[in-house]
Structure 1
Amino acid sequence: MTDLLNAVRRYADAHANPLGMAQTPIPGLFLVRATARSELMHAVSRPMVCLVVQGSKQVTMGLQEFAFAAGDSLLITADVPIVSQITRASTAAPYYSLVLELDLAIIAALAVEMKAVLVGDDAPVRVDPTDAEVAEAALRLLRLLERPSSLPVLKDQLLREMHYWLLAGRHGSAIRRLGWPDGHVQRVARAVAVLRADYAQRIPVERLASAAGMSPSSFHQHFRAVTSLSPLQFQKQLRLIEARRLMLMEDMTASHAAFQVGYESVSQFTREYGRLYGAPPVRDIEQARSKARSAA
């Protein structure tokens, strides 16, 4: 873990943007760096694994809270709404983590080769100690970044290896469900893809059920079981999260952002925004910018 921390630190310190995100040339792989405790961050997460190598973080999904620190991995195996907060970070000892979005095609192929079987009904969010093999595979991926000429040759092979060790390790039973083409998680994921693409539009539930290959009543049941929300609630969170990004990052007014993400009423947008973020849009954005200035 010490070698992995040093590799994450080198790349993140050199490439992190003002929000602490360091994108890499490897698809789905990015690093996170923070030098102070963060505000609460709302997101609808994609399936991914997060390896914390320094500091600590807390994630809430519904009524469940997950705290994890250096040496732990957070696994998310469905598109679910989460609230996260970096809880331990400082200038002397920043928070560092490595995040990899899971590749469903790689998982499906490996599950067949490994003759994997489904066991139990795994929760979509879980925290466990990081397996040594996963940490070693992550370290080899990061070392590729220091030799760009090797990326085209070795990137795919090492991504496959990391997915293999995730499947073979303590996270395996939960990850296998992502590789089952006709499983409920995969079917709901197809409907989620429609919601992510057209979140600003009115989407009939029949269209979503059709994308999932289910009847409307069955779709509602399985969608809530996987994501913890109804399709309408899920779409609403996508809209509000994108509206906040537009106001914070692109300096858009609240009314402009509301219409941009599909709201027809600014007052309705303000009410629903306040319920999610705890303050109306203008005050919330002012507070976020003030915290950013203080941290800077």
Structure 2
Amino acid sequence: MSERIYKQQQELADLIKRYSVQDGVHQTPIPSLWLIRESIVSEPISRVNEPSFCIIVQGEKEVILGKEAFRYGPANYIVASVDLPVTGQVVKASSDAPYLALKLEFTPSLILEVLSDLEIRVSPQKNAKRAMYISKAEPALMDAAVRLAGLLNHPEHITVLAPLFIKEIIYWILKGPHGEALEQMALEGSKASRIRNVIDHIISTYNRPFRIEELAEIAYMSVASLHRHFKEVTAMSPIQFQKQLRLQEARRLLLSESIDIADAAFRVGYESPSQFSREYSRLFGFPPREDIKRMRRHTIK
């Protein structure tokens, strides 16, 4: 690791510590910017990961997408270019050296704005690429991230400078080795953006059954092409994607509301509570009742 990157990491770590004195995910006065701090190795947490850029400056994390594992640590960043159901776990953290990360959420319109400024012409015919990837942070990207977080020390400058620094971060991501994945997702009419439309549809109607032909129509693809490109983007089939959404929401309901397992199953779209329990156990490693008791014990601790 170069001395420059090391100094940038330390500067960013100091800023994250200053504005996240307790464990958790902390919203900042800068829209779309979050600071994350964890002082213990966490339980695996399943959630829908929004389109975002996340850079770690201390500790390590593992994210599971489908059956793929993405593990990253200091001076690495991870990009998700669409909403993706993932399971994430902080795997290296302590009270002396907590996990520290900065997360920036973005929209396709912001990507398009940067692409327009660059006058980049992206071919809509290229095959869709995986919507999640890890890359090494270059000094220019780290510098932009430090300047963005540094605005927390000078809130009077946020309104004018934050949008510029955010666009600069997007610019350096686009110029990075995997930038094309982000380009394709933002470009209307590309195979990747048509898969994004299918993903949006599944997320908004996750508790209702779908016909694969209906999804193919949304994507303007044949059924075979839809399956191929959807799996390339998400590492899952459409059915597997919907199943993860349903099970994640059921787990949230069971943790946050006083409902029984059958009610949770029906609310997320299952007709058979026994099938729900089987698939829940397969995804989370424990039957629903045991899993919720275990999660609550962990939360109390």
TM range (shorter): 0.7 to 0.9
Amino acid at match of 1:160: K
Q: Could you tell me how far apart the structure 2 residues matched to 1:184 and 1:103 are?
A: 18
Matches within 5 A, 1:169-208: 169-208=176-215
From 107, 117, 129, give the equivalent of 2:111: 107
Q: Which runs of 5+ in 2 are unaligned?
A: 1-8
Q: Could you tell me how far apart the structure 2 residues matched to 1:79 and 1:184 are?
A: 16
Q: Which runs of 5+ in 1 are unaligned?
A: none
Look up the SS of the partner of 1:13 in the other structure: coil
From 255, 266, 273, give the equivalent of 2:280: 273
TM-score (norm 2): 0.86
Task: Kindly indicate whether residue 86 of structure 2 is the aligned counterpart of residue 82 of structure 1.
Answer: yes
How far did 1:112 drift?
Answer: 3.4
Q: Could you tell me how far apart the structure 1 residues matched to 2:54 and 2:154 are?
A: 23
How far did 1:194 drift?
Answer: 1.2
* Residue matched to 1:60: 64
* Residue matched to 2:3: none
Cα distance change on mapping 1:166 and 1:139 into 2, 3 Å = same
Task: Kindly indicate whether residue 163 of structure 2 is the aligned counterpart of residue 156 of structure 1.
Answer: yes
Cα distance change on mapping 1:25 and 1:189 into 2, 3 Å = farther
Q: Which ranges of 4 or more aligned residues in structure 1 deviate by more than 6 Å?
A: 118-121
How far did 1:217 drift?
Answer: 3.7
Amino acid at match of 1:263: Y
Q: Which moved more, 1:105-114 or 1:73-82?
A: 73-82
Cα distance change on mapping 1:137 and 1:79 into 2, 3 Å = same
Residues 127-182 of structure 1: per-residue CA shift (max 9 Å, x gap): 22212222222222223334444333333222212211211234423322223222
How far did 1:120 drift?
Answer: 8.5
* Residue matched to 2:21: 13
Kept after mapping to 1: 8 A contact 2:128/2:191: no
Amino acid at match of 2:293: E
Look up the SS of the partner of 1:202 in the other structure: coil
Q: Could you tell me how far apart the structure 1 residues matched to 2:143 and 2:46 are?
A: 31
Task: Kindly indicate whether residue 245 of structure 2 is the aligned counterpart of residue 247 of structure 1.
Answer: no
How far did 1:232 drift?
Answer: 1.7
**Identity across aligned pairs (percent)?**
37
**Aligned length, in residue pairs:** 290
Amino acid at match of 2:89: Q
Task: Kindly indicate whether residue 59 of structure 2 is the aligned counterpart of residue 51 of structure 1.
Answer: no
Q: Could you tell me how far apart the structure 2 residues matched to 1:37 and 1:43 are?
A: 17
Kept after mapping to 1: 8 A contact 2:43/2:89: yes
* Residue matched to 2:5: none
How far did 1:251 drift?
Answer: 4.6
